[in-house]
Amino acid sequence: MADTAPRVLVVMGVSGSGKSTLAATVAERLGWEFAEGDDMHPPANVAKMEAGTPLTDEDRWPWLETVADWIRSHLADGTPGVVTCSALKRSYRDVLRTPGVVFVHVAGDPALVEQRMAARAGHFMPTSLLASQLATLEPPQPDEAHLTVSAERSPDEESADVVTRLGLGVDR
């Protein structure tokens, strides 16, 4: 775990795991700023995913740098925040990793994740890309500042767990 209290949480995992819901709930609970990493994708990435084509590493690097800029800005300003980012590979997390950042990995049964993806409306990520995301996923390792939460629980239960396990103060 991090040596100092986290100032930015990166809520990570495959599409449909509940990253956005958990991140927004944690941010609300803590009174921290929230950012949706999907909104930081360049239009070409969104178009590619809408068409059912998985992103390549080359597609992801500019997006990861945009997310990293958001993180660095918040750390420099002393503004705590919560941002979503799939951060599926360690090399992707390496771009985002810096003191004060903790990854919150939302992990769940693939069937549950697929069910959630199929039920949501208006999102660019089709369920057909879930298999490629699961194949790409490299869960965080013990030497990475992270915690893993179960996608099977409610957002309130998950967010309370995050706040408690990270010692982030009074639960609002």
Residue 81 backbone phi and psi in degrees, to 5: -155, 165
> Can you read off the two tokens belonging to residue 56?
């390549």
Please write the tens of the pLDDT for every residue from 88-129: 999 999 999 999 999 999 887 777 666 665 555 555 555 656
- Total-model pTM: 0.84
Please write the tens of the pLDDT for every residue from 144-162: 999 999 887 888 898 999 9
